[in-house]
Amino acid sequence: GASIAEAATLPMNGLTALLGLELLNLTAGATLAVTGGAGLLASYVIPLAKQRGLHVLADANEGDADLVRSFGADAVLPRGEGFADALRDRLPLGADGVFDTAVLGRSVLRGIRTDGAIAVVRSWDGGAAERGIRVEQVWVRTVLERTDWLDELRAQAGHGRLQLRVAAELPADRAAEAHRLTGAGGLRGRALIVF
């Protein structure tokens, strides 16, 4: 029931979400904080984490709080530099894990409990994290052939549990613009190149 453009938003982000959750390896009842709560990747991470029995806290600006709640977040915290402190205010020992879809990096570590974990996308500086926090780098290219995961994602989207969101559809001759939009962040969906 999805358009081709909508369907195109699912594989990379969905596989990234599933891989990060697998790497974090949190058990039901654990707390997961998600950065970039209004973004497309987070919109997949949140409901997939909820289905695994996790308690999910995500960040958002005031205007996106209802959107992030619609993904299934149990609590929405302020976005920005104070996110880790807001986590500690809510969870004095820290979250069990963070899925860092906003690429905030080390600035969120203080919001994670000792011996917790963080899933990072794109890159990490390579250094060890503090207090025994495990850093899990999420490389979607390692799971591109997980057809079982793709089938799970298709079913979730088909039942409306994952929201397929297109931020822009651009022709091939504007590919550079699509990459700039994506790289700049802040999109509420995916910028797509349409051939």
Task: Please write the tens of the pLDDT for every residue from 122-154.
Answer: 889 888 999 999 999 999 999 999 999 999 999
pLDDT at residue 25, as a whole number: 98
Asked if 28 contacts 52 with a C-beta cutoff of 8 angstroms, the reply is yes
**Would you say residue 86 has pLDDT above 80?**
yes
* Chain centroid, CA 153 distance in Å: 15
162: DSSP letter: S
Give start and end residues of each alpha helix (H) in 30-82.
Answer: 40-51, 65-70
Sequence letter at residue 153? L
Distances (CA, A) of 52 to 14, 21, 93: 15, 9, 22
pLDDT at residue 183, as a whole number: 81
- pLDDT classification of 177: cutoffs 50, 70, 90: very high
Rounded CA separation 119/52 (Å): 16
Percentage of the chain modeled with pLDDT above 70: 100
pTM of the complete model beyond 0.85: yes
Residue reference for tokens 């029995």: 53
Cβ contacts of 134 within 8 Å, gap of 6 or more: 115, 116, 117, 118
